[in-house]
Structure 1
Amino acid sequence: MSARFVELDWSETGMGVISLRRRVEPSLNVDVYEVKLDDEFLMSSLFTVAEVELARLGLAQAVDADLDVVVGGLGLGYTAQTALKDPRIRSLVVVEALAEVIGWHQRALLPDTAELVSDSRVRLKRGDFFAMADSAAGFDPEAPGRRFHAVLLDIDHTPRHVLHPSHRAFYTPAGLEKLGAHLHPGGVFALWSDDPPDPDFESVLATVFDRSEASVVRFPNPLTGGYSTNTVYVAS
């Protein structure tokens, strides 16, 4: 077991101060990796079920034999890692706004997802996912206009609770229409949210995509002794 608490990295960014820390969770006697933006917790290795389900539920709706996939938001890497377990994955572009987060993986600070940087199918790209979605060039600077079979997004807390005001336009019919232009016919968009299903956002999805559904992901919370829930939206 490692030291009780270690701050592994700390950086000032345009979005605030981002930090990665490792601590021992005494109730489980395990190492926990946590990310904070200023004083707000963004993610924890103690709660990864919904990140895994984002990839699993999203790719379950993909119909092609070979898949080119975008993951919006690298974070601790669990969504990308789960996606790579699908044998159909041909390529995976992970778009991350903060170079510091990419650096955590390149420096092997996160042992649970260390294989991401060595997998030949993966490219970690620094960029603004929302600006890329809004552009004609899209998510692959080396192949402008390239289309993908699935986009898996885990950046904002919810469609209403965004990390930056510039993200809000994405969650509108116009924003999602632009995202759809980067998908192959029949392509899939999947989104993680920290809130229960939002009927207003479900209506937005229904105006843009042929099919959409919201799945509640329930998982044990060892800190409370009960259960917590997140939502995964999947549209195609």
Structure 2
Amino acid sequence: MSARFEVLDWSETRMGVISLRRRLDPTVNADVYEVKLGDEFLMSSLFTAAEVELARLGLAQAVDADLDVVVGGLGLGYTAQAALEDTRLRSLLVVEALEEVIGWHRRALLPDTAELASDPRVRLRQGDFFELATSTEGFDPETPGRRFDAVLLDIDHTPRHVLDPSHAGFYTASGLRRLARHLKPGGVFALWSDDPPDADFEAVLAGVFDRSEASVVRFANPLTGGHSTNTVYVAR
């Protein structure tokens, strides 16, 4: 049996101290992997349903036979892994701000997504997603101006509750229009949020994209014995 608690990695970053922890959770009698930034919990392998749905719902709206996809935020890797399960996926570019997080995957510290970094369709890029999204060059340094079939974003808690103040401008009409320049015709933007659907943000999406919707993802919460919900926005 594994130790009850272990810090797998700990690093000082420009955003604060980030740590990857593994603990034996008695509720589910299984190892749970968690990420903290400072004292704030960012993600847990105990709750991955909405991260998976982000990829599934987003790519369901993609129209091409061969998909080139960007994932903003690597984290524990569940969104990226779910994207790889779409048989149309041709390439996946994952943009992650912290090299330390990329290192977790290259060192295969996370058993559920251990093969992600070695998949030939995947490229892991260290960079500021929000800076790249609003730039002229875009996400791929090897092909400036390259367009994608879908961009799947899971970095901030919500469009209102951002990890860094510099991210806030992205969630405006101006920021999203800049992102849309990096999508192919009919391309998809999908976003995870920890809050219920936000009518104001839905209005911003509707003003930029031809079609948009918010889906509530409901999943079991073993810690409370009930259910929790997240939101996935999909715009095309």
Please indicate the TM-score interval, normalised by the length of the shorter structure: over 0.9
In 2, distance between residues paired with 1:75 and 1:122?
Answer: 15
In 1, distance between residues paired with 2:114 and 2:142?
Answer: 25
In 1, distance between residues paired with 2:224 and 2:3?
Answer: 24
**Structure 1 residue aligned with 2:168:** 168
Flag structure 2 segments of 5+ consecutive residues without an equivalent.
none
**Structure 2 residue aligned with 1:44:** 44
Alignment of 1:21-40 (within 5 A): 21-40=21-40
In 2, distance between residues paired with 1:16 and 1:206?
Answer: 35
Divergent runs of 4+, >6 A: none
The residue identity in structure 1 corresponding to 2:135 is S
**Structure 1 residue aligned with 2:113:** 113
In 2, distance between residues paired with 1:172 and 1:28?
Answer: 40
The residue identity in structure 2 corresponding to 1:25 is D
Alignment of 1:171-210 (within 5 A): 171-210=171-210
In 1, distance between residues paired with 2:177 and 2:137?
Answer: 15
The residue identity in structure 1 corresponding to 2:126 is R
Q: Which whole-Å deviations, capped at 9, do the CAs of 1:179-230 have from their partners, x for residues lacking one?
A: 0000000000000000000000000000000000000000000000000000
In 2, distance between residues paired with 1:20 and 1:118?
Answer: 20
1:127 aligns with 2:145: no
In 1, distance between residues paired with 2:120 and 2:57?
Answer: 24
Give identity over the alignment, percent: 81
SS of the aligned residue for 2:189 comes to strand
In 1, distance between residues paired with 2:79 and 2:117?
Answer: 14
**What is the deviation of 1:9?**
0.5
Q: TM-score, normalised by structure 1?
A: 0.99
In 2, distance between residues paired with 1:60 and 1:53?
Answer: 10
SS of the aligned residue for 1:115 comes to coil
Flag structure 1 segments of 5+ consecutive residues without an equivalent.
none
**What is the deviation of 1:118?**
1.2
1:98 aligns with 2:98: yes
Q: Which whole-Å deviations, capped at 9, do the CAs of 1:64-92 have from their partners, x for residues lacking one?
A: 10000000000000000000000100000
SS of the aligned residue for 1:47 comes to coil
In 1, distance between residues paired with 2:180 and 2:158?
Answer: 19
**What is the deviation of 1:173?**
0.2
Q: How many residues align?
A: 236
Q: TM-score, normalised by structure 2?
A: 0.99
**What is the deviation of 1:61?**
0.3
Alignment of 1:126-165 (within 5 A): 126-165=126-165
**What is the deviation of 1:98?**
0.1
The residue identity in structure 2 corresponding to 1:68 is D
Q: CA RMSD in A?
A: 0.4
